[in-house]
Amino acid sequence: MDSPLTVADIIRADKQDVRIGKWETGPVPKAKFPLTRNKLSLGRGWKWRVVTFQALRQQFVVLVAINEEKEYYRATLAMKDGKTLKVICFHELHADHWNWHCHLIRGNVHETFPGVLRDKNLMSAWPVFTKRECTVPFNVTEESALTVAAARFRFAEGGGLL
């Protein structure tokens, strides 16, 4: 049995073998972000790239996605679990509600249901906002999106910490 592991443990951990994919458009193939469905469709106007790394004897995948026209950014952190993933954190900014926020698994990430984009039983938002509107400017671009994800999840190309 795996020892308990939290999102904070993963963020703070030293990263090895960090690999950064190129920007792509269209659906995300299962081979790059393996959930139970064949592909992940983000919709029109989205650009995405995949980052992989190892930490704490586990393999991780970060899907960095941006739609500048819709003013929507998301970095999704997932942990490999056999042939699929356990999605454990979303870091988001979208102009239609809230400010910068995360949806994350609180507690032991090994308990996350595998193969789905969001474990509705274990995932919760942080911080909690009292007002629905977004009050920060959307200033994420294709050029800065990877840097935002790297700062949030603390990875650098090749390995180590930012």
Q: List the domain boundaries for the chain.
A: 7-159
The pLDDT assigned to 162 comes to: 43
Low-confidence ranges of the chain (pLDDT < 50): 161-162
Q: Considering the entire predicted model, what is its pTM? A: 0.92
pLDDT of residue 161: 46
User: Which tens digits make up the pLDDT trace of 77-123?
Assistant: 999 999 999 999 999 988 877 788 889 999 999 999 999 988 888 88
Residues in Cβ contact with 50 at an 8 Å cutoff, skipping those fewer than 6 apart: 21, 28, 32, 33, 61, 62, 63, 64
Separation between Cα atoms, residue 72 and residue 11, nearest integer Å: 23
Residue 121: the pLDDT is 87
pLDDT value, residue 135:
76
